[in-house]
Structures are given as C-alpha cells and as structure tokens.
Amino acid sequence: MLYAPKRLRFEKDIITRIFRNLPGQGSLNIQVGQELTPAEIIGSAIVSSGFRTINLASQLSVTPKDVKKYLKVGLGQKIYKGELLAYKEGGLFSSKKVVVSPTDGILDFFNINSGEVRMSFLPKRVNLVAGVYGVVDGVDEKRGAVSIRTQVTRVYGLVGTGRVRDGILRKIGGREDLISSSKISVKDTEHILLGGSIVFKEAIEDAISAGIHGIITGGLNAQDFRGMAGGRLIFPRKLESDIGITIVACEGFGSIPIGEDIYQILLEFDEKFVTLDGNRGIINLPSFSSSSMKKIRSTSLPKMVDFTTYANPAQPDSEEVKGDQKVRFVGSLYRGGQGKIISINGSKTQLASGLEDFLVTVETKSRKIQMPSANIEIIE
C-alpha cells in the first residue's frame, strides 16, 4: 500500500474557547455563565503606556532629511487620532500625500537619518468588547482575562509567530499577490490583513509601525521568520515569540499562494472579527450568526487548564493514498497547488534524479499533473 503525509487544514463550526484580555489595568463586568453578543462591552481599561513609530519618509515619498518641512505638528505637541500629521503638495508627476495621526499621542522624537517620528500614546480608556456570540466559561479578574465558549471555523496555518491578537479581517490583495509596503496603510490600524503569496520584511515593519494587529499570508521568507521567531525555524509550540505583530503563513516558506480551500473560507469573514495565535499557527473565525448560540449552549468542553492555551487536535501522520482524495502539492514546481487524485501507477517509475517512486495523476482546476507520491500531502 502507498502512504502519504496527511494534514488537517481547517475545521468548520467547532465549539471551542477563545480568550479576551484587557489591554491594561482595568476591570471586567461579566460573570461565569453569562451569554454574550459580539458588541457587548465586557470590561474597560486605562491604556497609558507605549508608542508608535511612523516612517514619514516612506509615506511622503521624500528623503529623511526633508520630512521636517512637511510636518504639521511640532515635537512635544499633542495630536489626536485623525488630525493632520504631515502634508505634501502634489506635483506634475506626483500626487499629494496626506498623513493623519493613527492615534492620540504626543510627537516626542524625530530621527533625521530614517525619517521616522515616534508618537507616545496619551492615556485613554479602552472598552473591551466580546467580539463573539458565546458563553463566559471563566473570569480571571487579577489578570483581566476572560474565557468565552463560542463557535468558530478554525484554520491551521503551517508556520506563524506572535501572541494572540484580534481585529477586523481586511483583504488587501489576492492570494497570489506579493505584499509590499505599498499595501500597508495606517487606515488599517488594529486590523488583521489578508492576502498574498508572501509578505516582505519591509511590509511587516511598516505594519508594526501602523499598529496593525496581524497578517495572514501564504508564505514567509525563511530568514525573516527566523528573526521573528527567536532565531529558530522549528521550535516548540509553547514558545512565546512576539515582535509586536502576529503573523500566520498558511502554506509555509517561500512565495506560495494561499490554498484555495483556506482562501475561500477567509473571504467569507472579510470585515468580520477574527483572532490569530501566531505561535500556534491558528486562525479562529468566530460565527457571526446569532443562531450559533443554540449549539454553544448545548455543548460542554473539558475543564480549562489555564487562560492562555487551547489544545491542538491530534492529527494523523499519514494515510493510504487512494483515488478521489484531495491533495496539496509540496516540494515541486506546483508547490501549494491543490487537486484530486484520479489515478495511481501500480509500479514505481525511475525519476530524473535517479530515485524511484510511484506516480500519481492529480486533476486541478486547469490541468492534469503527474508527479511522484513524495510530492503530495493529503488534506481535509
């Protein structure tokens, strides 16, 4: 019998727990057993620390030393979200550039070598909303943490980094696009961005500066990932690495389009609330239908261990290769592509490399492809 690796890529409409945390010192106003709606405020906190770096040279398309003459706010001055931070008139071959403040803050530093300004946050009260339909399973007042039993569609990425973050999902490109800095905007502050076969390092840096919470992409540059994940490519799932943004790559290393199966699911949640756990490579897509409460109420979950983790499902290592199975291409010219097995050779064939393997024929949307069984992965 012929076997191939198997991987669970997503689960639809499962009952699980998600964790909501106050962003600073504050209080919660809910109790165990309480039923929640997405817009319900479950606590509030005063956020008084932190800063944001904005690369104005990049956003204005000028040299770092020229940034100061376009600034509309002086160092040490307060500025509020939406107010004009910098402005450059358009020219014969260029359009005007308008940069508004992404948050309330004080402009306290300008780097003449990089063209970056640093904005320290003003203290403000932030409300924490439930974000989902669900039932409160646990409340930790000391840590400002809440566990909510809810219904989600869960996507399992291949690699990722960053703590649990949430936000409104926003599509910024097709599944095959290259995500560069031009795709990043301060208008997407606190959002989760979706799109692309790879996201470049400069785009990640600009996303952090813009206060974007997360990025979902097809692939990542291995060197960039090593830097984000504490110098490792492979590390224990419990390792908590974080660089100020959460990233999940659905397909692996290199420029690989997001698989059609996962991409179509993610599109259904465009402009909806989602959560990312980069260190575990998990994307939670909560149900936005109130009818999910019936299943949530009637489903019990194992006792919680703590307020920070949830178990990944046990996944089979391999499965017998059969006709009509859905597979994903790995380690080949068509890496990341998907299709259905329509035939399997009964004997091994010698490959150009000199190795021998069974050949399988896979039908995709556009063609039929014959390849070694070592280059396929069975997916669900």
Distance CA 378, CA 12 (A): 18
**Cβ neighbour number for residue 208 with a 10 Å cutoff:** 15
Nearest to 211 by CA among 51, 87, 324: 51
Per-residue pLDDT of 46-56, as tens digits, reads: 887 678 888 89
pLDDT one-digit tens code per residue, 180-204: 999 998 889 899 999 889 999 889 9
248 confidence band (pLDDT: 50, 70, 90): very high
Identify the bridge partners of residue 26 per DSSP, sorted by sequence position: 45
Q: Over range 110-133, report the average pLDDT.
A: 90
Residue 318 has pLDDT above 50, yes or no: yes
| pLDDT over 70, % of the chain | 93
Query: pLDDT tier at 127 (50, 70, 90 boundaries)?
Result: very high
Q: How far is CA 202 from CA 128, 152, 254, 277, in A?
A: 31, 32, 16, 22
Q: How much of the chain is in helix, strand and coil states, percent to nearest 5?
A: 15, 40, 45
Query: Is pLDDT of 169 > 60?
Result: yes
| 115-124, 187-196, 211-220: least confident range | 115-124
DSSP 346-362: SS-EE-TTS-EE-EEEE
Cβ contacts of residue 10 below 8 Å, gap of 6+? Answer: 153, 154, 155, 156, 261, 262, 265, 380
Residue 233 has pLDDT above 50, yes or no: no
- CA distances in angstroms from 250 to 12, 28, 202, 224, 260, listed in the order given: 16, 34, 20, 16, 11
> Using alpha carbons only, what angle is made at residue 348 by residues 345 and 349, rounded to the nearest 5 degrees?
95
Contact 194, 172 (CB under 8 A): yes
pLDDT digits (tens, 9 = 90+) for 26-65: 999 999 999 999 999 999 998 876 788 888 998 899 999 9
Domains and CATH numbers, the chain: 8-44+134-298 (3.50.30.10), 49-122 (2.40.50), 321-379 (2.30.30.50)
Between CA 264 and CA 325 the distance in angstroms is 19
Question: Does residue 322 have a pLDDT over 60?
Answer: yes
* pLDDT category of residue 333 using cuts at 50, 70 and 90: confident
pLDDT > 80? residue 236? no
Give the pLDDT mean for 109-132.
90
